[in-house]
Structure formats: C-alpha cells, structure tokens
Chains A and B, each alone.
Chain A
C-alpha cells in the first residue's frame, strides 16, 4: 500500500475539462489505481494534500484562495505539473485581463439583466479576487507543463506512465499538436 505513488490534483481557475480529460483514460483507471493512490483531488474527500509524489494543477490563479491552494501543493508535491492552457498561460479565463476589474464590477452591478437587490457580495468567507488571472509558474516553481485545452487522455497516460516508472516523460508530436 505505502509503496504506491501518491498523486494530488486540483482545479484553480479552470473549467474542470482537464480533470475530465484525465478521466477519459476510461478503464485504464483500474490499472492506474494499482500503482497510484489519490490524495487531495475532486475525486476523493481529502481536503488538504499531504506529502505527495506528483501534483497536477488545472487552471490559473484568480483569487487569494487559489494562491493558498497552489502554495500548499508546491510545498507537498515533489513534482508539480501545470496541466492545460489555463495553468500554463491563464487560458481562456485570462481574457478577463483585458478588462479593468473596476469597470467590470460597475458595469455588472448597474447593468446586469434581471438583477434584484444589486450589491457586491462582501463576506469574509469569500476569497479576495486578484486583479488579473495568472499562470501558475508566476507564483510557484513548476516542474512540467502538459499542454492542450485540455491535454488528451493519452497525454495524461503517457506522461504519468513515464513518471511512475521513473523515466523522463517525452510526448510524441501527435500528442502535442494543436487543433
């Protein structure tokens, strides 16, 4: 049991599509489960990750909570992997970087369709928003980048198989071309 490779995964400012693509390994999940144990992940009920071998991060950084989660991952994971366009360069959510947050807030609260009781949610339970969406390498050191939106299931499979076997991962051209 304890000889298993420990993997943690999380989604920051992403769409969950990278996690879905990971699950697209389909039945191979049973093979993976033989050698891997999942720590914190949307698939388990573990809320904070402990020491792990591999951390997979989907999504960029858009609020203070994302920063905390990312730092926790970096601290605990020997190898940290930026998964997908959002983690690597902010991806589609980073389109927000072209709009001033102030403008964005004002327009939304004055002009939203069908809005009742206009006010800006302001509760200590809500994390603070950053003014820009950042790729994760701007906050922590990243060991590998797995490109795609999302990377295909075969990218996950090839990449993880290599890491688990202790090899340097190499992705053939067919797996990293863009469509």
Chain B
C-alpha cells in the first residue's frame, strides 16, 4: 500500500530527518525520513539497530539450560520465552503438549496469564497512555507515565497496580518477578502453595474490576474521535495467531489460524511443528529485523500481523464472560465489514486481553490442580523440539535441535515483533504520507511516527536477538574509542580485514 515509500527513487539531495531512539518502546530502534525540498516524504523506514546473537551462542549448551538462557532475550516477556523454550524441550524429552500433567499445564498457564497481564498493563499505562490521554503532539514534558500519575492519579495508579499484580503472579509461580525459574523438561519444578494461592486470591476481584475499567477507558478514548482513530496508521493486512480447537482465543497452546484482510480463512488449526513450511523470512539490507511472510502467498502479499488485534480478529469467541462481552462490543463498534484493521485498535484489543487474563487467573486460582498432583511427565528422547506460544506481542516460535549428547546444535527463533515488521513499516509510511508530508516537521509532530509504532507494542529487545541480522561491517574499538580492526563482508560472501568498505 505504501511500499513506494520504502525506497526513494532518487535519494541523493534529500533531507534526512531521524527519530532516534524511538522512545517508550522496549528496546532500540530508529526511524528515518527522506524529504524533498518541499518537505514531501520520499522514504520512511523503521530500522532495528541492535543485534545480540542468541541463535548462535546457545549452540553448544545443554538443552535443559534453554528456558533460563533464552528468557534473557527479554525482560518484558521473559516468561513467554521461558515457556516457548519449555514447550520445545518437552518435545526433546518425548512429551507432547497433551501429555503434560494437568498440574504442570495449569501452572504454566497461570504463569503466562500473569505475564500477559503485566506486559499489557506496562505497555498501556506506562508507555502509551501519555499519547492517549494528552494527545499525540502534546509537549514533551507530558509524555511520560510520571505526568499521567500527576494529572490522572487514579488511572495511573490502577495501571501500576495491575502490572504489579501480574508480576506477583509470576513471582508466586516462578520465585522471581523477572527471570524466575519454573518450567523444566516435561513439567514444572514446584506447585503453588496454599498460602501463595490465598495471597493472590485476595486482590483478584479488584484486578478484574480495574481491567474492566481499562476496557471502558480505551473505548472512551477511541470513541472520542472515531474517524481519526480508525484511520491513523491503519493498513489492511493478513492476521496470524493460535486458536483453541473450538476456535476460542488462546494464549498458551493451540493451532495456527490465518485470515486475509477480507476475513477469509487462509489456514486453520495448522500444526505449528510444521511452521518451516508455512513461513519464510526475507532479509533486507537496511534493518537487522527480518520480514516474515506466508510462503503460500509469497513475499509481496504474504506478510501478516500478529498480537492482540490479530488474536481478537482471528478467534471465534473468548471463553471468559466479561472479555467475551467486550469482544462482541469491539466488533460491533469497529468491524463494519469483517475484520478490524485500525492500528490504534491494537490498544483496545490489548485491554480486552488484559481483562481475559484477569478472569482466567481468577478461574485458575480456584482450581485445586494447582496445589498438588504430578508435576513432571517422562518420555523418550527426540532430537528436535518446536515450541510456540502467544506472547503478549503475538505468536512466538522457538525451534531447537540437539545431538546424542543433549547439546543444542541448531536454533531458530521467530519473535512476535519480527512478524509485525512489515506492518510497523507500512504504518510508519502511512503516517508519513498522510500526516507529515509537506509540513514543517516539529518534534511533537514526529511523535506521531512513534505513536504508530507504539500501537504494535514492539519489543525491540526481543527483536534484536537474532544472528540472521548482522551488519556488513564489524569494528573493533578499543577502550579509548580508536578503531583497531574492521571486518567487511563483500557481496560474494567473502570477508576482508581492515577494509572500511
């Protein structure tokens, strides 16, 4: 739709405007615009500028370290990486998801609902609410959670406490709020004690109420200027997510469903272990983040979006009553024909999921399975494991192979934010074309680009993990800042030292 703005026809002589770093997102990224003499936007790109190399350096480690190692990909959704890796290592010990003991399955689900609840609260209240409450081009001093806490103390504090509750759920199950341990091959390492359960039960009623208030808040905000909010950064796309066997919204385990922009189903209940046939990832020269697409539809048409909006668009219903009522209303209000494509509707969908998590935690806390029962299942060794989960930001793939000595020999990760790469770039270009082109670009105006990116809740921390996104040059800088050595890869794949390229 806005592909023509990915690469300017004649970049020479264009003026460069940069937003660096993109703020109030988790991680490192920047946006560049190239403008002509009349300030018309000729090119707009979101660059992901960091690389960490997980897929390579976890090779050579024993597989049982994976859930603890890979959660260091991300401190915002560590539990999602922990559990995606756990699902993969279950397979390495010969356990399929259906064979997991009920207590272990439910503890993992509880852990994950805590994760999604805290992450959604973090994103909405700490990172995005300043835009939504003060306006997209408000003064810089207003654009932080501290200003929200000062001007809207009730809303701000509810957000702080919602996130706190999610973190406490995680702490009770895994021992630590960030980077706890819980999942082990074939199960979990401990049950929930009665005291821990009772501690979490105390506040859950309040949390459900506040989650409902959050849905009401975003509905009000979105409704305040419907026409603008429906159109801002909006693009038509395919959507991909897991769904339960009965078509319900699913965050922990299910089959893959994909729909096209018209709402027609492309795949349903697709077995995620066959994901290498379903998805390919394209590399482009100007960003470290790859561009995944559905193989069957090809590069140009196969890109898709994941995350709360994809999940709410894809599912047939939600199996908790308050969130289901919120979903029905969301569809009534926003889906005139078929799917909701409004990018800002991600926020609304996210709050519906926040409510679903609160209700699901409440239901699970009343489940006696959490307190006792078999926690680990045993099977016989396999050499390949694939774990997929719905992380807060969307479908997350972990894939590992091991050798006879149980050592990891191959790893592939497709993190949620990577799947939204084309979507975020298209949204950035839509905003650049529709709202910024031909204007004098002031700092508050440029915030609109970030508002578009923020709607996706990108976790650039997750997205910068992979080895498949390396730059052309490698520079060795000594402590005094001097470039000591430089490695350049040429187009033919050969490397040269000391060549600035």
- B470 touching A102, Cβ below 8 Å: no
Given contacts A33-B150, A114-B280, A117-B284, A26 and B56 within 8 Å (CB-CB): no
Size class of the contact patch on chain B: 35 or more
Which of B156-164, B357-365, B375-383 makes up part of the contact surface? B156-164
- Which single residue of chain A is at the shortest CB-CB distance from B494? A106
Contact with A along B325-344 (1 / 0, CB 8 A): 00000000000000000000
- A29 touching B476, Cβ below 8 Å: no
C-alpha spacing A27/B162, complex, angstroms: 11
C-alpha spacing A29/B163, complex, angstroms: 13
- Which single residue of chain A is at the shortest CB-CB distance from B61? A95
Closest-CB distance, A22 to chain B (whole angstroms):
10
Complex contacts, B127 vs chain A, CB 8 Å: 43
Given contacts A16-B76, A26-B160, A150-B179, A115 and B283 within 8 Å (CB-CB): yes
Complex contacts, A127 vs chain B, CB 8 Å: 49-50, 471
- Which single residue of chain A is at the shortest CB-CB distance from B299? A116
A112 at interface, CB cutoff 8 A:
yes
Closest-CB distance, A30 to chain B (whole angstroms):
6
- Which single residue of chain B is at the shortest CB-CB distance from A63? B50
A145 at interface, CB cutoff 8 A:
no
Interface centre among A96, A122, A132 (most CB of B within 10 A): A122
- A44 touching B28, Cβ below 8 Å: no
A174 at interface, CB cutoff 8 A:
no
C-alpha spacing A46/B142, complex, angstroms: 11
- Which single residue of chain A is at the shortest CB-CB distance from B59? A99
B434 at interface, CB cutoff 8 A:
no
- B175 touching A179, Cβ below 8 Å: yes
Given contacts A26-B161, A150-B178, A130 and B283 within 8 Å (CB-CB): no
11 contacts between A and B (CB under 8 A): A13-B50, A45-B143, A47-B20, A62-B51, A104-B56, A109-B470, A112-B412, A121-B471, A127-B50, A130-B476, A150-B178
- On B, residues with C-beta under 8 Å from A are 19-21, 23-28, 30, 32, 45, 47, 49-53, 55-58, 69, 72-76, 78, 122, 126-127, 140, 143-146, 149-150, 153, 157, 160-161, 163-164, 167, 175-179, 276, 279-288, 290, 299, 399, 410, 412, 447, 450, 461, 467-477, 479, 481, 485-487, 489, 491, 493, 495, 501
